[in-house]
Amino acid sequence: MTSLARYHGRSPRYILNTEDDSLVRVAGPKQVPWEEGTEIKNVSLTGLAFTAPDDLCPLLGEVIKIQFTPPGSRQMACYGIVTRLENITEQRTLVGVHFYKLEMSQRIVLAQGLARKFKETQDRSEIDGLLNRTKESFSLASAPQLTLMAILGFAWGAIIWHLLRFEYVGLYKMLLRLFS
């Protein structure tokens, strides 16, 4: 793995799902744009990573123009510095790019799209967690709560029994004796 990534600050990455629009169009110094077989793997506020065929792979440290669609937005183009090259297979390379002089409007659009996608992913995982929750078995950790529930249930039952057995005046006198 070849990397300049340790010299650039990193933001949390958003891993793209297969249903996301994940093509990236790249143009190097020769200004020959290509998008054949590229696929964005993750996106953050500071950069992105995509796969590329080895024969079209940019060089480490090269400034490239990239065109991609941020989550929940329209297509945008910006410059990036290649900070990482990692061989995935014999014909494919993972290319890590750090955004270079990203405009504020682009940064805002990217931040909003990533926040929206993060929220959707978080909501989806919470729903999946509720649907796939397994039945919990009894453990000693829940004993204090069960004991408290039993005491409250017994007290409630005793009050109901006394209400049914005695008249209200008798209950009132019993409570006065208890608290005096």
Eight-class DSSP state of 5: G
* CA atoms of 45 and 155, how far apart (whole Å): 58
State the greatest distance between any 2 C-alpha atoms of the chain, in Å, as a whole number.
Answer: 98
pLDDT number for residue 153: 92
- What pLDDT, on a 0 to 100 scale, did the predictor assign at position 138? 63
Q: pLDDT, tens digit, for every residue of 78-123? A: 888 999 999 888 888 898 999 888 888 888 888 888 888 888 877 7
d(CA 54, CA 63): 17
For residues 172 and 96, membership in a common domain is answered with: no
Contact 58, 26 (CB under 8 A): yes
Q: Write out pLDDT tens, residues 23-66.
A: 667 776 665 666 666 788 888 888 888 888 888 788 888 888 88
Number of domains composing the chain: 2
DSSP secondary structure letters along 117-160: HHHHHHHHHHHHHHHTPPPPPP-GGGHHHHHHHHHHHHHHHHHH
Q: Which domain holds residue 175?
A: 151-179
165 pLDDT exceeds 90? no
- Statement to judge: residues 11 and 72 lie in one domain: yes
Residues 97 and 166 in one domain: no
Query: For the chain, where are the E strands, in sequence order?
Result: 2-3, 14-15, 24-27, 33-34, 39-43, 47-53, 63-68, 76-87, 92-100
- List the CATH number of the domain containing 9: 2.40.10.220
Q: pLDDT confidence of 75, banded at 50, 70, 90?
A: confident
For residues 86 and 160, state if they share a domain.
no
Residue 145 in domain: no
Provide the whole-model pTM. Answer: 0.56
Task: Please give the backbone phi and psi of residue 66, each rounded to the nearest 5 degrees, phi first.
Answer: -120, 145
pLDDT higher for 17 or 40? 40
Q: For residue 18, is pLDDT > 70?
A: no
CA 108 → CA 75, 114, 139, distances in Å? 14, 10, 48
